[in-house]
Structure 1
Amino acid sequence: MTPPIGAFLRTRYEVPGVAVRIGRRSAAMDALLARHGVRQAGFVTAWNPRSRRMPEGWNLRTQDRLRQAARGRVLAEGFGRGAGWAEHHLLLRGDPRRLRVLGRRFRQWAIVVVAAGRPARLAACLSHSGRRAG
């Protein structure tokens, strides 16, 4: 299975008062990071592993497990929104390498990394084969 790169690029990643798109810088995100005293964070989800649709109840339970695994790193809860769909996301503080570990654990293709003063970027978690990426 191939990661849906186009879908990632078309998705708007949101937390209250902030919307981010890959490849674009967000002054609102910069302000949110500054308010929390962090330089970088990432949008991570446990919904629909490897882009396979799962029932909402399953997604909600798995997202709860991600929240527990994040142990105090949650800056905000939000969504990734595309054309006609939305998935719950957590905005987690921390080093993107550690956040990618969480993404892999929950079988996600990638996470969205945000850093103060920089455009949002996609960071791969799984390769095309579903194994650990880089």
Structure 2
Amino acid sequence: MDEALLAAYLATDYRMRLPQGGVASLRIGAPLPSALLQLTQGAPWAVLAAWNPRSQPMPRAWNRRAQRLLLAELRARPDIRAIRAAVGVGAGGWRESSLLVVGADAASMRALCARHGQYAFIAGEGETPPRLYWTDDAP
């Protein structure tokens, strides 16, 4: 496992836009904020993206197109209850657009992330703290 990549995921602040306005922030291993508990209502959830596949920076236009394709795939799934805009904020000003997806289990999200070239995503269910999940392609 790439220790630098793991450290980057663990240091990232994942921020979600809330339906009533404002932002909720979560971190891997930390308790889920009450606003996100209310939003997910105990259902499984994940934070994922299609930006920068295989952790390789891509042009903004490419990333936006990839994210739109991911969003279209998610919207077509009957198990998805909600999709909210999110962003991962890391060290040195690094930011990556993401999506909070409510309703799909981690196993199906792992397969989806792998198809979009992602090494990892975070997910949880109920009050369980956010957990990092690696795809099979992870270094």
Is TM > 0.5 for Structure 1 vs Structure 2?
yes
Name the structure 1 match of 2:94: 85
Name the structure 1 match of 2:84: 76
User: Structure 1 128/92 Cα, relative in aligned 2: closer, same or farther at 3 Å?
Assistant: closer
Aligned-residue identity in percent: 33
CA distance in 2, matches of 1:126, 1:52: 17
Consecutive unaligned residues of structure 1, counting only runs of 5 or more, are 130-134
CA distance in 2, matches of 1:92, 1:46: 13
CA distance in 2, matches of 1:89, 1:64: 11
Aligned counterpart in structure 2 of residue 40 of structure 1, from 41, 44, 48? 44
Query: One-letter code of the match for 1:7?
Result: A
What is the total number of aligned residue pairs between the two structures? 126
Name the structure 2 match of 1:103: 113
Query: One-letter code of the match for 2:74?
Result: A
CA distance in 2, matches of 1:18, 1:128: 28
Is residue 6 of structure 2 the alignment partner of residue 2 of structure 1? no
> Contact between 2:114 and 2:137, CA under 8 Å: does it hold in 1?
no
Shift of 1:128: 4.1
Shift of 1:75: 2.2
TM-score (norm 2): 0.83
CA distance in 2, matches of 1:126, 1:56: 26
Shift of 1:40: 1.1
- Runs of 4 or more above 4 Å deviation: none
